[in-house]
Amino acid sequence: MRVLALVLHRLAWFVPTLLGLLAVTFVISHVIPADPVALVAGETATPAQVAALRHQLGFDRPLAVQFVDYVVRLARGDLGTSLYTTRPIADDLASRLPATIELTLVAMVVSVIVGIPLGVVSALWRNSPLDHALRVITVSGLAIASFWLGIMLQLLFAMRLGWTPLNGRLQGFPPRGVTGLFLADALLTWDGAAFATALAHLALPAATLAFPALATLVRFTRAGVLEVMQSNFVLYERAMGMPRSVIVWKYILRSALTSTVTQIGLLFGILLAGAVVTETVFDWPGMGTYAVNSIIRSDYNAVMGFTVWAGAIFLVVNLLVDVVHTVVDPRERVS
């Protein structure tokens, strides 16, 4: 019952935070610009056209009314119409969502599979040459500009060595399927060739996206394991003469990794943000590329639509992470 109450409590905070986010995007799109209509209308519009558009878009009403209208429209899933594609922005974004999810998920799997063991190893062999080498990697991961890393990887592996495709998601037709995630679709339809090309196209962008997350995860795991190693119960097991391997496998890892695993959800946030820039570098047909192309085309509606959409996805992911955290980690329930 306590868990249910906490989950409800988290849910209760979700709505005001979402409204707060909408207030921020409303201020950015409706209040900050000297003339938001002129932004939408473009530079070639005549004053008469701008005035007509202002009335048509409802910008001549009081701000409070506009905000309520804004929230109601968004609640119905209406993000406005793209000035460039002239399609609903929600549709544009939805059609690009699977590509972004596939890239983000693969990067997440890579960073977890590589990052957690490396973090454990560097904690267990603290101050060893391996630990120092890993420290260089983690420090680099947090300092490198991901768009630059992507370009350097392209330069080396795609342009010079020719091991991977330069950019894009696939050559030819996508595999038949339901999920929109090409790797999963290729697996479901037993299409080996499609799987191989999809994987080859994914390699560089996923590596680029995974690197900072991996660095964060190594640091986090290392710190977590070190903390457990110094805790009283481990000291007790040691004093009892337990063999090191038993202490490590049975006590340290189990205890340290529970808290690490609950942090993985937070990685999703870092990865989604990184996807905006990484997708641009690799022309990955996801939401990030859509947003950046919209910036270049001055498709103002689409940029704001993306912001709202990305922000909402974030809040939902954070909410899920919080709920899972509450359910999984007993310590959360006490505090």
Residues near another protein (CB under 8 A), total: 60
29 makes contact with another protein (CB under 8 A): yes
Closest by CA position to 226, among listed 127, 324, 91: 127
Buried b (16+ CB within 10 A) or exposed e, 312-321: bbebeebbeb
Tell me which residues in 122-181 interact with another protein (CB under 8 A): 135, 139-140, 142-149, 151-152, 154-155, 159-160
Distance CA 335, CA 333 (A): 6
CB atoms within 10 A of CB 99: 23
> Can you tell me whether residue 52 is helix, strand or coil?
helix
Which DSSP helix (H) or strand (E) runs through 134? helix 129-143
Complete DSSP assignment for 292-303: HHHHHTT-HHHH
304 makes contact with another protein (CB under 8 A): yes
Q: State the amino acid at position 156 in one-letter form.
A: L
Contact residue for another protein among 106, 310, 321, 326 (CB under 8 A): 310
Distance CA 98, CA 104 (A): 10
CB of 216 to another protein, least distance (A): 6
56 makes contact with another protein (CB under 8 A): no
Contact residue for another protein among 2, 8, 12, 16 (CB under 8 A): 16
49 makes contact with another protein (CB under 8 A): no
What are the residues binding another protein (CB under 8 A)?
16-17, 20-21, 23-25, 28-29, 32-33, 39, 135, 139-140, 142-149, 151-152, 154-155, 159-160, 216, 219-220, 223-224, 226-227, 230, 263, 266, 269-270, 272-273, 276-277, 280, 291-292, 295-296, 300, 303-304, 306-307, 310-311, 314-315, 318
